Amino acid sequence: MKVFVTGGSGYIGSVTTELLLDQGHEVVIFDSLERGHRQAIDPRAKLIKGDLRVAGQVARAMKAAKPDAVMHFAAYALVGESMCDPGMYFTNNMMGGVNLVEAMVKSGVSRIVFSSTCATYGYPDRVPITEDTPQRPVNPYGESKLMFEKVLGWYQKIHGIKPVFLRYFNASGATLRFGEDHEPETHLIPNVIKVALGQRKNVKVFGTDYKTPDGTCIRDYIHIVDLGRAHILALTGKHTGAFNLGTGKGFSVREVIDVVRRVTGHPIPVEFAPRRPGDPDRLVASAKRAKSVLGWVPKHSNLRAIVESAWAWHQAHPNGYAKATGKSPARKKKNVRK
Ligand code: UDP
């Protein structure tokens, strides 16, 4: 298939592009490169540089690419930032999405696999979280993703769009080529690894008074290669609707830090810090629907294997993708602001 991938220079988009190309699909990436990395774009893919917020740019790109289907990764994805600047999130994640699906309608493309999130559930009443759990986001990031799920639902009814919403739990890990490089980095595993690399003196543990056995938050960590595999199953299958992508097993912040200690051999000092606003105690997926309907079974998501893959990538890229161009991280930050 020829797949139009938005956000192919980002963390999950780059890995899924790699998998698609390895399986013989053709990929056209539509990406603004605002937060992604040019070095994360697989050279076998074609890049069209453009911004989803500019309707004409995405419509022209879709018309030129004539894809069979769309995978939509491009988005802002920082909860804290969304709480400070909600407009950014609704404009890019929701309105940018509307421009994308309008472009699909104009070009006669019906299949879309959309990167949604467990943040659409907010504070769930119970875990594991099934797809029928009420969606009550507690921040504009989760809300913007839920809004676009609903937009796609209406385009399905009115224009025959065939959407799949993949609600990711905690994307983590790396391939040999592609890994996690955000600026700023807010995620737990890369932040702990930065301590092991000697780039930070300790890792902050946000909250030790949660209702969990060791008092720290529990999350369901899923390897990005497993996420990428789920996208390809969703793309080539006939089903529509929502699928949770997680392992069904949760690990606390302390447990994650312990695994990084064992894998890296570094003591990893911790600093206990107050809770981070908006963090639910426990987010663990029921991924039964993805298994029974898509035939998706995670193969790489053992926590130790996740951390080993991330550690290998970060050792090879201690300054993230900046190293490949010789740019300093400061210079890279300047580019992000442009
Ligand atoms: N966390 C932490 N220290 C960090 C980063 C994250 O204690 O430097 C905690 C965070 O509060 C949450 C868990 O680790 O409970 C996972 O956070 P992450 O940002 O990786 O993913 P999220 O679940 O927020 O999407």
pLDDT by residue (tens digit) across 226-275?
A: 999 999 999 999 999 999 999 999 999 999 999 999 999 999 999 999 99
Give the phi and the psi of residue 214 in degrees, each rounded to 5: -105, 10
Which amino acid appears at position 122 of this protein? Answer: G
Decide whether any atom of ligand 1 lies within 6 Å of the 276 Cβ.
Answer: yes
Cis link prior to 128 (omega < 30° from 0)? yes
Give yes or no: 168 in active site.
Answer: no
Question: What average pLDDT is seen over the chain?
Answer: 94
CA 147 to chain centre: 17
- Residue 196 pLDDT: 98
pLDDT at 183: 86
- Residue 165 scores a pLDDT above 80: yes
Q: pLDDT of 218-239, one tens digit each?
A: 999 999 999 999 999 999 999 9
All structural domains of the chain, each given as residue ranges with its CATH number in brackets, are 2-316 (3.40.50.720)
Stated pTM of the model = 0.94
Residue bearing the CA closest to ligand 1, atom 15: 217
Residue 329 pLDDT exceeds 90 = no
Q: Within 10 Å of residue 257's Cβ, how many Cβ atoms?
A: 22
Give the pLDDT confidence score for residue 207 in this predicted structure.
Answer: 98
The atom number, within ligand 1, closest to the CA of 204 reads 3
pLDDT value of position 332: 38
59-72 tens-digit pLDDT: 999 999 999 999 99
- What pLDDT band is residue 323 in, cutting at 50, 70 and 90? low
For residue 322, the model assigns a pLDDT of: 83
Catalytic residue among 11, 76, 89, 141: 141
Ligand 1 close to Cβ of residue 205 (< 6 A): yes
- The residue written with tokens 């908006």 in the block is 278
